[in-house]
Chain A
Amino acid sequence: MAVEEASRTFSKKLSWLVASEDRRLAITILLWSLAIAASYDQALVQRAYMTLFDYALVLVICFVAGAVIMDVGRALLGYVAAMAIGTILLTVILIYPATSNLIPYPGNILIPSLWITTIFTAVFPFPFIGYLVATVVGATTGEKYF
């Protein structure tokens, strides 16, 4: 009984969250950017580069996000927003501890610039294009099958 009640409440909340397309897009972009940032973050803090598995993981994320949005135009818009938010979030997470006074000058300047270079090369150009394609394919699949 209690489980039934809880799942009904959850269903209501979910319905409210995705009640309009704009709301659904906003939620998806939020999840999407967090997922991209988390995928890159777990890879870069372990080995400072992305493996094929990590790239594949982000491709799947973009495909699923595109399928949830179910509209190619909105999906493209969402992709640009999610990538921008995700990359900014990732940069802040990685650079913040390096800017503390634990690393003396000029190391405290060098490490953040190394991270920016690492993130940039891990995102551009081919992964960015690949994710874009995955998003479009996901949105097309979503339009067709959901």
Chain B
Amino acid sequence: MLFAKTSRRNQLTIFFAAATLVLLIVAAFGTVNYYQFYPAISQIGASINSLQTTLITNSPGNYTLQVKVAFSINNPTSYNGLFLKHFESTYDAMAIYSPTINQTFTGGAMAYNPATGPLNSGDKVGIIYQSFNAPSDAARAASNPQTKIEFIFHIDFVLSSFLDKVTMVIPSYDCTGSGGQADCGQTGITIVTAAGGSGGGGGGGGGV
């Protein structure tokens, strides 16, 4: 009632203040989520869910070491709005002959894996490599029961986010395992500006 008696100019001022308040509330929700973004990209977890190796004897002295591995990427933070877009990995196999003697065999790039999925708060995306053969030298080394074979996977993946228009976020991890489950340590975050963007890449460092 009193509002009706207020001048039109003051009514407009009240409307302006109310609209600003609504905008501030809407922006606050987005900003709170945005403030979780940087902790989220540095805390995105990666792990080896399972790693199985099978040594096959083709003929005496000729072995094949088959590897099956499953990774999982998870978002333990409260940030919503991440998406796993592109996963890739290379690997090395390390033969440990004794605590002081070991040999590393380069495995190279693993086959393209089309796994994608949302990484909102609490989400987990699984990446499964059905079977691939380790380098023949590693297979030969594995044929010796005294030798322990360890795999070092260097994984990185593109995280799609609200920043897609201006930049691409690519966290990198190293995962070491000889069987079963293992956690991966983040080795860096690469930030690549989008095509037509304003600057070069960056990132790296950090890690567990």
Interface residues of A (CB under 8 A from B): 4, 7-8, 10-11, 14, 18, 24, 27-28, 31, 34-35, 37-39, 41-42, 45-49, 57, 61, 64-65, 67-68, 70, 93-94, 97-98, 100, 102-107, 109-111, 113-114, 117-118, 142, 145-146
The answer to whether A114 and B27 touch (CB under 8 A), given A11-B6, A49-B165, A97-B37, is: no
Please tell me which one of the listed residues A39, A49, A57, A114 contacts residue B193 in the complex, with CB atoms under 8 A apart. A114
Q: B45 in the interface, Cβ–Cβ < 8 Å?
A: no
Cβ of B17: which chain A residues have Cβ within 8 Å of it? 31
Contact B26 A48 (CB under 8 A): no
Nearest B residue (CB) for A33:
B20
Contact A48 B10 (CB under 8 A): no
| Stretch with Cβ within 8 A of A (4 or more), from B94-102, B130-138, B197-205 | B197-205
Contact A28 B20 (CB under 8 A): no
Contact B23 A104 (CB under 8 A): no
Minimum CB–CB distance from B12 to chain A (whole Å) comes to 5
The answer to whether A117 and B16 touch (CB under 8 A), given A39-B23, A103-B189, A146-B9, is: no
Cβ of B26: which chain A residues have Cβ within 8 Å of it? 38, 42
Contact A18 B13 (CB under 8 A): yes
Total interface residues on B, CB under 8 Å, equals 50
Contact A38 B20 (CB under 8 A): yes
Complex CA distance for A69 and B163, rounded to whole angstroms: 37
Listed by A's residue number, 24 A-B pairs whose Cβ atoms lie within 8 Å are: A8-B2, A10-B2, A14-B14, A24-B13, A38-B20, A38-B23, A38-B26, A41-B30, A42-B23, A45-B34, A46-B162, A70-B9, A104-B204, A106-B203, A107-B191, A109-B202, A110-B193, A111-B191, A113-B198, A114-B166, A114-B167, A117-B199, A118-B166, A142-B9
Contact B191 A68 (CB under 8 A): no
Minimum CB–CB distance from A124 to chain B (whole Å) comes to 14
Contact B2 A93 (CB under 8 A): no
Q: B120 in the interface, Cβ–Cβ < 8 Å?
A: no
10 further interface pairs, Cβ-Cβ under 8 Å (given A94-B34, A106-B203):
A10-B2, A14-B13, A31-B20, A48-B164, A57-B23, A68-B9, A102-B41, A104-B189, A113-B198, A146-B7
Minimum CB–CB distance from A25 to chain B (whole Å) comes to 11
Nearest B residue (CB) for A15:
B10
Minimum CB–CB distance from B163 to chain A (whole Å) comes to 5
Cβ of B27: which chain A residues have Cβ within 8 Å of it? 37-39, 41-42, 45
Cβ of A11: which chain B residues have Cβ within 8 Å of it? 2, 6
Please tell me which one of the listed residues B13, B15, B162 contacts residue A48 in the complex, with CB atoms under 8 A apart. B162
